[in-house]
Amino acid sequence: MVSYKNILYCTDFSTSARAALPYAIDLAKKYGAALHLLHVYQDAGHIAEFELSSGTKSDYIRVAHLMGTEMEKRLEDLCQEIAMELGSCERKMVRGKAHIEIIRYAKETNIDLIVMASHGLSGLEHVIFGSTAERVLGESPCNVFIIKRPAGRS
């Protein structure tokens, strides 16, 4: 019999990621599982490496800090929204490469199932490195439920 105690929902706050959320909530309800939210943000140096416009690294660091603060608030708001349906949720925001941090979190917290979108905000990086979902699927210590991008979305 299939049983999940800890489900991880990964978000980059994209439309695609948002489309995966109802699946994570429904599965958590069905199995009485704890729902964990994870947002991984990248180092400012990584952003600067792939940025195609002009600007200094300190500009990117400042922007990344502001984005981090905004993302923390969005994650908190999302957790409160989910808690209204499930009673509670766990949330964490970490810095690093998404697939590495998702796998690390899943191992450290005994995640039974990862729910994530097939595509997020990665853009050009997907072309160069492959998708986060592909990497998580290949390296995950548990099952991964990948939700297709909503029709008409890029």
* CA 105 distance to own-chain centroid: 11
35 DSSP assignment: E
pTM score: 0.80
Residue 32: CB atoms within 10 A of its CB come to 10
Secondary structure tally for the chain: helices H, strands E = 6, 5
Give burial (CB, 10 Å; 0-12/13-18/19+) of 132: buried
Please provide the DSSP assignment of 60-112 as one string.
Answer: HHHHHHHHHHHHHHHHHHHHHHHHHHHS--EEEEEES-HHHHHHHHHHHTT-S
Query: Distance (Å, rounded) from C-alpha 82 to C-alpha 77?
Result: 9
| DSSP H or E stretch at residue 21 | helix 15-31
Read off the pLDDT of residues 14-53 as tens digits, 9 standing for 90 and up.
888 899 999 999 999 999 999 999 999 875 554 444 444 5
Report how far apart, in Å, the C-alpha atoms of 135 and of each of 72, 74, 102 are. 24, 25, 10
The pLDDT value recorded for residue 29 is 96
pLDDT in tens, the chain (154 residues): 889 999 999 998 888 889 999 999 999 999 999 999 999 987 555 444 444 455 565 665 666 666 667 888 999 999 999 999 999 999 999 989 999 999 999 999 999 999 998 866 555 444 444 588 889 999 999 999 999 876 654 4
